[in-house]
Amino acid sequence: MTDSNPIDALRALEAEALDAISGAPDEDALEDARVAFLGRSEGRISAVLRGLGQLSADERPAVGQEANRVKAVVTAALETRSAALGRPAGASGLDLTLPSRKPWKGGLHPITQAVDEIWHIFRDLGFSRARGPEADTEWYNFEALNTPLDHPAADEQDTLYLVDSVLLRSHTSPVQMRTMERHEPPIRIIAPGWVYRRDTYDATHTPAFMQIEGLVIDEGVTFVDFKATLAEFARRYWGPDTVIRLRPSFFPFTEPSAEVDVKRVITRPDGTREETDWLEIMGAGMVDPAVIENAGYDSERYTGWAFGMGPARIALLKHGVDDLRTFFENDVRFLGQFAR
């Protein structure tokens, strides 16, 4: 390598640069190599390019071409090595123009939110929370609740049986008996949980759905306690102007039985007030003495009331959603709207 042969000198520089680049153990070493060969003031290849003007007119084109080729090869090698080291080429290795990643924000499912709000209202009214198994026996799901197995509700058409007399509970009412067996009155419980029915999956039915059971058993509990407590619940959940109405109904485990409806008064942004339609929220009633006796309690001494409601339906009406299935499709664009 002599000064009289700048092309040879450039090729030697190229080899040296490529060695330094491929041997660079990290970004810092790579950056040192870049500065040593291509740095604006001290780079050895840059110096050759700067010195082109001092060459003779004969030499200049060939040396210039070779210098540019070496510069391109070394630049490409720097980029390749940098990518291999895991960061883009550039002084800091950071691309500050990239949009940031939005962190995912977790949130409770709208049905879970409804269950929690409802449970918290009853908790404030003195209820505690109870639970029972989702796979239960015919006894707890039907017979203990005064429902003979030839009752239409016990039909295999409606209920998902597992083996023999074991089934997926079709309502949360079995928690009534399971609680009464383990505790003496007074009993005031709320039991939210999944229940299962052989339903087609459509806008208003899902084969698995949430229910919330309520049960009160004590001495001297009357229909007045029943109606007043539910009216108070409705006011706390939907607002102070909410009223309830009871419609006669039938359930094997209550006597008398009722469907409970609520009507809300909505205040529009312009201040005008409007009543909603009656909205059915639960089945309920005074606990049948036969159920109280099945629990081993004296039905002359103890009375009570109970209800079962569907929080998914309540959440659906609250949010103006028209298809239950959207709650279960787990599309984050839909569910994210309710996150809090």
Q: By C-beta, is 30 or 281 nearer to ligand DAH? A: 281
Does residue 146 touch ligand DAH according to CB under 6 A? no
d(CA 114, CA 108): 10
For ligand DAH, which residue of 251, 297, 327, 338 counts as binding (CB under 6 A)? 251
d(CA 83, CA 220): 79
For ligand DAH, which residue of 132, 283, 304, 311 counts as binding (CB under 6 A)? 283
Q: By C-beta, is 6 or 308 nearer to ligand DAH? A: 308
Residue 26: φ, ψ to 5°: -155, 180
For ligand DAH, which residue of 24, 189, 284, 316 counts as binding (CB under 6 A)? 284
Site for ligand DAH in 149-188 (CB under 6 A): 171, 173
Q: By C-beta, is 66 or 213 nearer to ligand DAH? A: 213
Does residue 285 touch ligand DAH according to CB under 6 A? yes
Instruction: Mark the segment that binds ligand DAH (CB under 6 A) among 30-38, 225-233, 303-311, 331-339.
Output: 303-311
Does residue 34 touch ligand DAH according to CB under 6 A? no
For ligand DAH, which residue of 115, 308, 311, 314 counts as binding (CB under 6 A)? 308
**Minimum CB–partner distance for residue 275 and ligand DAH (Å):** 26
Instruction: Mark the segment that binds ligand DAH (CB under 6 A) among 18-26, 84-92, 240-248, 305-313.
Output: 305-313
Contact 229, 125 (CB under 8 A): yes
Does residue 213 touch ligand DAH according to CB under 6 A? yes
Contact residues toward ligand DAH (CB under 6 A) are: 171, 173, 213, 251, 254, 283-285, 306-308
